[in-house]
Structure formats: structure tokens, C-alpha cells
Structure 1
Amino acid sequence: MGISLMLCLVEGFEEGFGKGNGKEEHGCFLAITELKSIGNGEFEDESGDVLFSVAFHCRTFLPVNGEIMLGVVHKIHRRGVFLRCGPMKYIYLSAQKMPNFYYAQRKAQEIFISDDHSKIENDVVIRFVVFAVRWRKKHWDIERDFMILASLEGDCLGLVSLPGSDELEL
């Protein structure tokens, strides 16, 4: 196999690798760490494609119940918020699983506010515990992805303050 064909195969493999979100038993694929071998190509009569068997090592991300994770709020609704964490796009934190937080709408902005005036709003980082995980092959417009239910019930969960000072400079 020539070097240019090898480079083309590796490039195509890495490009196609990111399209599938993962597998139920392995989790989401993050990156290829080692390409072990590329087999001989086999011609497919029906499609005209040439298929190559590929052996590789990769990094994956598989969420499990009870795991503590960080997520960024990207959508707020009256009944809860949606978070993102790395390749996980479907993380739901129900209002029922946010003790001491209450829904409020200020002007055009929806937020959850706590007794101590902490606010959950878009782009805020939250530390949460994974309450439930479900793998979906096909559900509405979601194909091959994990759906996660989150909770703030527990110690050290909630809003995360990012590095830097919130003090006023005088």
C-alpha cells in the first residue's frame, strides 16, 4: 500500500470516526490514540466502495450512575435545565432535583434562583451527580447518543465558581 493511499485512509477513518457518537457498551468516542493496523481492501459490488478493516485504540467516555460531573447550562425551561458535558449533549436536570432552587423569569431571561440568591442561568457551570443513564439508538431526531438525568441532591453539588475574582476594583 502506497504512502499517499495510507494517509488518505487514515484521514478518512479519523473523519468518519467522529460522526458516530459511540456505542452503548463503550461510551462516546473521544479520540484515536493508536492506529494498530489497516487490512487489505475488499471491493463491494453493490456500492462500489472499498472497505478496509482497521484495528485501533481509542479514548472513550462512558457515564455511570453516581458519577460526579461538570456541565454547562445551555437551555432553561420552567421544569428544569439542559446541560452539556464534553460529547454528552442530552443532560437534563429537573427542577425537582434542584433543592432550594426556584424558577423565575426576569424580563426575557429564564433562571433558577436559590434561597441564597445563587442563579442558574445560561453558560453557568454546574457540578452534578448522574442520576440515570439511557442509551438511545433512535429517539426523535437523536441517533446513537446517551441521555442523562442529573441531580443536585448531595454534598458539594451545584454552581461552580470559576477562577478569578468577583471583587470590584477600586
Structure 2
Amino acid sequence: MFLKVQLPWNVLVPAESLGPMLQRSIVHHLLEDFAQRKAAKDVGYYVAVTSVDSIGDGRVKQGTGEVEFPVLFSGTTFKLFKGEVLLGVVQEVLRYGVFLQCGPAETVFLSNKKMPDYRYVLGDNPMFLNDKLSSKIEKDVVVCFVVIGTQWLPEKREFRAVIGLDVDYLGPVS
């Protein structure tokens, strides 16, 4: 789910960037920092900065040659919630399940135990096959799924999601 959030961050600006284009420099460093942080436990994956709401007075950081500005900005994030029905693209097929990508979430796992009526087929292009429905789950296929749970991985700054196809209308999308 996409969320509208308002976040307070401290933006570090090198002293040599101070000058007549200060506001532009602060926004530039905010956007760089935003792109590198990837995600946060409480708001999910960072997607976009939509507006800079306020920039506070800078404070010199001793011994670093940088000035720290408190910035309040609005943005968009993406977070997976338990019970949510979403679409993902299969990235890897393994005997015990498949890994999908759903937006910025790259570690979405669908266990073979959560795919009733599908069986694993080994080969050059491994897949899960449902004989009754004549449907396949293979690399690059779009799959409709339900989120069973998520786990925050602080060392990687990302979420791991476990999903399922336990309801009739979930599965590969034509």
C-alpha cells in the first residue's frame, strides 16, 4: 500500500555548498539521502519526496565541515500489510517456493506450501504447474497474492514478506 507521510530529517550540507543557492543545495542533499536510505520499519520503502514543508536554521557540526539543517518534508512510501492483496513479478523459482518483486519490495516469498494444487516441475525453466487450471508460475509471471506476514530486517533496511495463494482468485495473472 502506498502511504502519504510527513518526515523530519536532519540534512547535512558541506560548508562549501553554502551560498546563494542554499535552499537548492539542501533539497539536493535531502534527495540524495532519501534515495540511499531505502526503507524504515515504521513507514516502509521510500518512494518519492513530494514537497519540502520547512527548513530550519542550520547548526555547524564540529570538526566535520558540514552544517546540519532540520527539514520537514512530505513523501510517498510503500509498505506491505498483512491481509493485503497485491501483484508481484516472479524473480526466481526454487523447489521450495518462489521469490517475487512487488514494487520496491524485492524479498517477497511464496512457499510451495502456500500454493495448493500446484506442483514443482524441474527443467531448464523450473515452474509450479496447476494441472486443473492449466496455469503456470514461472520466472517473469505476474502473480496475485495475499500478504500473510512481514518481517523488518534492520541490517539490510528492507522487509521480508511471506505470501500465499490460499484463496481461489489468487494466482498467475493472464
Match of 1:123 among 131, 140, 144: 140
Unpaired stretches in structure 1, ≥5 consecutive residues: 162-170
Aligned with residue 28 of structure 1, among 27, 45, 52: 45
The residue aligned with 2:5 is none
**1:41-120 map, 5 Å:** 41-106=58-123, 108-115=124-131, 116-120=133-137
Output aligned runs, 1:158-169, within 5 Å.
158-161=171-174
- How far the C-alpha of 1:9 sits from its partner, in A, is 1.7
Which consecutive residues of structure 2, in runs of 5 or more, have no partner in the other structure? 1-17
Number of residue pairs matched by the alignment = 156
Which structure 2 residues correspond to residues 138-157 of structure 1 after superposition, within 5 A?
138=155, 143-157=156-170
More deviation, 1-10/49-58: 1-10
AA aligned opposite 2:161: I
Q: What's the Cα RMSD here?
A: 1.5
TM-score by length of 2: 0.84
Q: Percent identity?
A: 38
Deviation at 1:122, TM superposition (A): 0.8
* Distance in 1 separating the partners of 2:165 and 2:111: 9
Question: Separation in 1 of the partners of 2:134 and 2:122?
Answer: 14
Q: What residue number does 2:150 align with?
A: 133
Amino acid at match of 2:130: S
AA matched with 2:139: N
Local SS of the residue matching 1:12: helix
1:74 CA displacement = 0.4
Please report the TM-score for the alignment, with normalisation by the length of structure 1: 0.86
User: Which moved further from structure 2: 74-83 or 18-27?
Assistant: 18-27
Aligned equivalents of 2:112 and 2:138: distance in 1?
Answer: 13
